[in-house]
Amino acid sequence: MTQLSSQPIKFAYWVPNVSGGLVVSNIEQRTDWSYDYNVKLAQAAEANGFEYALTQIRFTAGYGAENQHESVSFSHALLAKTEKIKVIAAILPGPWKPVLAAKQLATIDYLTNGRIAINVVSGWFKGEFDAIGEEWPEHDERYVRSEEFIRSIKGIWTTDHFSFDGKYYQFKDYNLKPKPIQKPYIEVFQGGSSRAARDMASRVSDWYFTNGNTVEEIQKQVDDIRAKAKANNHQVKIGVNAFIIARDTEQEAQAVLQEIIDQANIEAVNAFDDATRQAGAASPEGEGNWAKSTFEDLVQYNDGFKTNLIGTPQQIAERIVALKNVGVDLILSGFLHFIEEVEYFGEKVLPLVRELELQQQVQTTAKSA
């Protein structure tokens, strides 16, 4: 069932455009949400083998991430200071309407020589939607809206005089000029793990992003999505979140994890837990992003510890290849001290991943000869 990719596995990192880093903990972090820090980070990432950077969208945050830069403008500003990395801008249907998003992104695509992508997120924080005066449809309805959003933007990007008559969006004979440089269109990622999220991925998204998890659990999701996508005659790639702690020894890496958890901001993690009850955990089948998350998991707000890319470069490289072997195309990474750890990853972990991929390819070719 599992469809293996012969392509090298890709790497993305979370842009810290939100304060507090990627963990809800009082541990000291040399990660900063400023523009200057983020430019240096994006430059370090592209020099160290990362192909994508993912910005986050929050209008407000209930878990201690006090300041948040807006995702599309921040993505554009990072693209202006880099040369090859693609930046994925998070977009929330609701505040964004598809015609505006399609137009705004087509322009950025032009200005950056085809390096913008988007992550359509469906919303998990009711308090945020209330605060900005947006309607809060029920869980699965949010995906009905997101799917219409994706069908609308793809239609606008590819078709002259495009019309759409959906439940959430209606427009007539809209002719976007110029269309994006990237063909057939700007890549569309999506985030979420629920039944509704997977079904949407198997119909319309180019990439499915999911929270961190064990290889076994990720394999179940991959097989499920790929089978459905095949039935829909659609192709979707898979990206998995992981909070990476790579150190020279396993003990050092585990000690860092323990310190992050020991210093968790308990009040903020509990507030986040409450908010997720209205999001993933509230999805009808109980399979949403945070449905099975423990307190410790939630200290990294996309369950990034669960993927277990924590240890020595060799251990991490082996686990990355194991994920690739169940059909994962991309690792979305978070780090404690971003710039220095992205550099360590590029120097120490990535070459081992490429070596293991090569060995595997040689073995496969030998077997089939």
Ligand X SMILES: Cc1cc2nc3c(=O)[nH]c(=O)nc-3n(C[C@H](O)[C@H](O)[C@H](O)COP(=O)(O)O)c2cc1C
Q: Are 190 and 201 in contact (CB under 8 A)?
A: yes
The answer to whether 221 contacts ligand X (rule: CB under 6 A) is no
Is residue 124 involved in binding ligand X (CB under 6 A)?
Answer: yes
Q: Does 241 bind ligand X (CB under 6 A)?
A: yes
Instruction: Identify the bridge partners of residue 13 per DSSP, sorted by sequence position.
Output: 53, 333
Q: How far apart are CA 31 and CA 106, in angstroms?
A: 31
Question: Could you tell me the smallest distance in angstroms from the CB atom of residue 270 to ligand X?
Answer: 18
Q: How many residues bind ligand X (CB under 6 A)?
A: 27
Radius of gyration of the chain, Cα coordinates, nearest whole angstrom: 20
Choose the binding region for ligand X from 55-63, 77-85, 167-175, 292-300 (rule: CB under 6 A).
Answer: 55-63
User: Quick one: which segment of 80-88, 276-284, 321-329, 348-356 binds ligand X (CB under 6 A)?
Assistant: 276-284
Among the residue ranges 95-103, 166-174, 281-289, 352-360, the one whose residues contact ligand X (CB under 6 A): 281-289
Three-class SS state of 166: coil
90 binds ligand X (CB under 6 A): yes
Quick note: the x/- pattern for ligand X over 175-204, rule CB under 6 A, is: ----------------xxxx-xx-------
Residue with smaller CB distance to ligand X, 152 or 194? 194
Task: Give the DSSP letter string of 5-36.
Answer: --SPPEEEEE---BTTTTBSB-S------SHH
Token pair, residue 179, equals 């269309």
Quote the strand ranges of 166-261, DSSP E.
Answer: 170-174, 188-191, 207-210, 237-243, 245-246
**Which one, of 233, 125, 137, 147, lies nearest residue 196 by Cα?**
147
Of 25, 112, 211, 312, the residue at the interface with ligand X (CB under 6 A) is 211
Shortest distance, position 59 Cβ to ligand X, whole Å: 8
Site residues, ligand X (CB under 6 A): 56-58, 90, 92, 119, 121-124, 191-194, 196-197, 209-211, 241, 279-280, 283, 288-289, 302, 332
